[in-house]
Amino acid sequence: MPITFLVLALAMSVIAALFIVLPARKASRSTKQSWVLTTGVFATIIVAGTAVFYSTTSKWNWMPNGVPDAPVAQQLYEFQRAVHDEEDNAFAWAELGRFYLGFNQVSPAIEALEKSVQLSQGRDVETSLNLVEALAVRREPNDASRSAEILSASLRVNPENKKALWYGGEVAAGLGQWDVATARWQAMLNMSRQLDTEEARSVTTLLEQRLATAKIEQEKLNGMAHASEPGSAPEAVRISVNLDMELAQTPSLTPSTNLFVFVRSRGQGGPPLAVHRATVGQLPLNIVLSDADAMVPSRTVSAFDELEIVARVALGGKPTMTPGDLFGRQELNAGDDRTVSITIDQVAAAP
């Protein structure tokens, strides 16, 4: 706390002054007036000098909530007073949320923006998009699903909002909903092609690249659907991965922590048949692992009827399981539907 620091700083300054003053007192016992003058001069120099040095070099933020200076602190006070005086004012909550977001205060920003979106029933698309941006910064396990809900509502309000179309495509792609991503990016591409500007041409190029990726991923999904038809050889496994809410609070867990999803043949050793690497920040995750992802060409997913699918959060940082890693698993037998849902809800024990 600042007040604690000030008290300690003052005490240390006084102690430092005594180390100088006491010898000076011995040297100036001839007159009391000389000693008093010496004490006052040295104490003033030390305390004032320390204050000046600290105030010009310190990076300590004296204001709460990350606010750097008095004028901005006054703005924060006004925004907070506005929502206090009018709790049902959606605009006031939006302004408070944007203020927090501008200073990277993500948690209070999300709280305020959520309140605004709730009050406006999602009709204020700009505020809804601000909330999606804040959720993207926080990147907790369920934030992607919440963003998808917000963006779908925003596009119902304004189907031609370019930012909502772009964000909507990216979030849908992250959730493995490539058909949704394709539709949104294509709508944005159609609008971009109508503009003859350098920016529009850059956007067009980027969207064409994203649509090419979406086409490849969608073809994987279509192959998986074909594999589930009667008489078809099973070729792919469609996997959705979620993280148990309690384990999501693990202190060492961060959005950048590695997440491995792999398929292996039950009862056989050797490397996995197929592996997908992601991060915790991408959860919930929807992927397809097929013969195209085989680690060894001669050992493919479709070559085995009995499979084990494992999703593991590598807290130990290693590709193999270590004590403390978080994981979940599912087993597939011959004839089972090759669409599985895995919840990471176990902790690897020490051997």
Model pLDDT for residues 146-198, shown as the tens digit of each residue: 999 999 999 999 999 999 999 999 999 888 888 899 999 999 999 999 988 99
pLDDT of residue 13: 64
Q: How far lies 335's CA from each of 38, 266, 292, in Å?
A: 95, 15, 21
Angle, CA of 232, 233 and 235, to the nearest 5°: 120
Mean pLDDT across 82-105: 93
- Write out the E strands in the chain: 236-243, 258-265, 274-279, 285-290, 307-313, 326-332, 339-344, 346-347
Mean pLDDT across 94-109: 93
Name the packing angle between helices 90-102 and 70-85 (round to 10°). Answer: 150
pTM equals 0.51
d(CA 99, CA 77): 11
Alpha-carbon dihedral sign for residues 75, 80, 86, 87? positive
Topology of domain 236-347 in CATH is: Immunoglobulin-like (2.60.40)
Lowest-pLDDT choice from 52-56, 191-195, 238-242:
52-56
- Write out the E strands in 152-235: none
Mean pLDDT across 228-251: 74
d(CA 48, CA 310): 64
Q: How far lies 154's CA from each of 148, 162, 266, in Å?
A: 10, 11, 45
Lowest-pLDDT choice from 19-28, 56-65, 147-156, 207-216:
56-65
Lowest-pLDDT choice from 176-185, 229-238, 254-263, 300-309:
229-238
Closest C-alpha among 326, 322, 148, 316 to residue 241: 326
- Same CATH topology for 149-227 and 236-347: the answer is no
78 pLDDT above the threshold of 70 = yes
**How many other C-beta atoms are found inside a 10 Å radius of the C-beta of residue 155?**
19
Topology of domain 149-227 in CATH is: 1.25.40
pLDDT of residue 65: 47
Kind and range of the H or E run holding 2:
helix 2-27
Note whether 191 and 162 are within 8 A (CB). yes
Note whether 294 and 301 are within 8 A (CB). yes
Lowest-pLDDT choice from 172-186, 228-242, 258-272:
228-242
d(CA 70, CA 63): 8
Note whether 227 and 332 are within 8 A (CB). no
For 312-324, give the DSSP string.
EE-TT-SSS--TT
d(CA 13, CA 46): 7
Q: How far lies 252's CA from each of 17, 142, 203, 255, 313, in Å?
A: 45, 18, 38, 10, 11
Lowest-pLDDT choice from 80-84, 138-142, 162-166, 341-345:
138-142
Contacts 24+ apart (CB under 8 A), 81-90: 83/112, 83/115, 88/119, 89/119, 90/115, 90/116, 90/119, 90/120, 90/124, 90/127
Domain map of the chain by residue range? 2-57, 149-227, 236-347
56 pLDDT above the threshold of 70 = no
User: Higher-confidence residue: 10 or 332?
Assistant: 332
The mean pLDDT of the chain is: 81
d(CA 258, CA 277): 7
Write down the residue that tokens 């105030």 correspond to: 55
Residue partners of 170: CB distance under 8 A and separation at least 6: 181
74 pLDDT above the threshold of 50 = yes
pLDDT of residue 339: 87
